A and B are shown apart, each in its own frame.
Chain A
Amino acid sequence: MNLEKYNNAFTTSLDITDDLLGEQLVYQSIQAWDSVGHMTLIAAIEDAFDIMMDTEDIIDLSSYEKGKEIMKKYEIEM
């Protein structure tokens, strides 16, 4: 359930398909994930899990996988 929410945040905010989700999905690996897209993505993740992320975590979330690790800090297991 949490993984589905997490994946939806990526696919809807970056306008990508499920097949792009994975290790290869990192900041600037696709055109949509730039500084503007990053903020849209963070907002989508916060809304999906009803959390407010620390600013340090916002700038650390540089990949799909890294984001999963950061979510643990907010007691969200995938």
Chain B
Amino acid sequence: MKIVDATWEKRNLGVLAKEVTLDIGDTVSDLEQLNRLNSEYTVIRVPAGSVELMFKLEDMGYRFIETIINIQHNHKDIGSTLDRITKRIADSITYFEMNETELSELWQELRGGIFYTDRISLDPAFSVDKAAERYIGWMSDLLSQGGKVLGCIFKDDIFGYFTSKIDAGNVNRVDNIGIYKNYENAGLGVALVNASIRYAQNEGAKMTVSSISSNNMPALKANLAAGYSVTSAQYIYIRHTSGED
């Protein structure tokens, strides 16, 4: 079991938060440690299939909110999985690194509510607005740590963006991809994912990894259509407490 003091959530969500990752070897008795956490918002990541741990967490007042599906693209035959229509769209899409002005416009898009399926947007204790501020905080941290935010252009207009962080082992991580409000009904999801993979390959990354929520099936389908494979999954449980419980 790994327990992390999620200090960034105080800034993002205004709560004292802890993030706990359970291992396959963790037992029901190990979960007793969770009763001693000083936390207002606790997130538990449970390996898929760990039914005993799931039942115990439910007994302890934790609630299931989503499954996180981890995916990977090996950068081989990029585009070969695309259907002919997506390929035509993908061929006309370009990307660029966003500057301060374009990032400000992106923050406005996020505040307009382009995400509503993540666990913060869906949680009645939080909101879509809080989720937007969390994404902005998240991306600001990413930029300060050497990550990048790339805008995507179709017919001279920015329609979406993706993030990229390539580690020392040349593995690219995409933490966030989004489509602007004006283009959300345009079917550009698969082409956008394809652009993020092309970018990573051009930057020398050997593979790209990402994670998708089970509450966002269209995103999972788009990533699989762009050539990703599923590698693992984790159940996510949450609990809100006063901080002294």
A residues apposed to B, CB below 8 Å: 26-28, 31, 34-36, 38-40, 42-43, 46, 55-56, 58-60, 62
Name the distance in Å between A45's Cβ and chain B's nearest Cβ: 10
Query: Roughly how many angstroms separate A56 CA and B92 CA in the complex, as a whole number?
Result: 10
Query: Roughly how many angstroms separate A38 CA and B154 CA in the complex, as a whole number?
Result: 17
Identify the stretch in B13-21, B41-49, B215-223, B232-240 within 8 Å (CB) of chain A at 4 or more residues: B215-223
Query: Roughly how many angstroms separate A26 CA and B187 CA in the complex, as a whole number?
Result: 12
Task: State whether A55 touches B217 (Cβ < 8 A).
Answer: no
Task: State whether A62 touches B222 (Cβ < 8 A).
Answer: no
Once A59-B89, A59-B154 are accepted as A-B contacts, the answer to whether A28 and B185 lie under 8 Å apart by CB is yes
Q: Given contacts A35-B188, A43-B85, could you give 18 more A-B pairs where the C-beta distance is less than 8 Å?
A: A26-B185, A27-B185, A28-B218, A34-B189, A34-B222, A35-B221, A36-B189, A36-B218, A39-B83, A39-B187, A40-B83, A46-B85, A55-B89, A55-B155, A58-B89, A59-B89, A60-B186, A62-B185
Name the distance in Å between B5's Cβ and chain A's nearest Cβ: 37
B71-113: CB near A (< 8 Å → 1, else 0) gives: 0000000000001111011001000000000000000000000
Task: State whether A34 touches B218 (Cβ < 8 A).
Answer: yes
Could you list some 25 contacts between A and B, CB below 8 A? A27-B185, A27-B187, A28-B185, A31-B217, A34-B189, A35-B187, A35-B190, A35-B218, A35-B221, A35-B222, A36-B189, A36-B221, A39-B187, A43-B84, A55-B88, A55-B89, A55-B92, A55-B154, A55-B155, A56-B155, A58-B88, A58-B89, A58-B187, A59-B188, A62-B185
Consensus secondary structure, chain B interface: helix
Name the distance in Å between A36's Cβ and chain B's nearest Cβ: 5
Query: Roughly how many angstroms separate A36 CA and B81 CA in the complex, as a whole number?
Result: 12
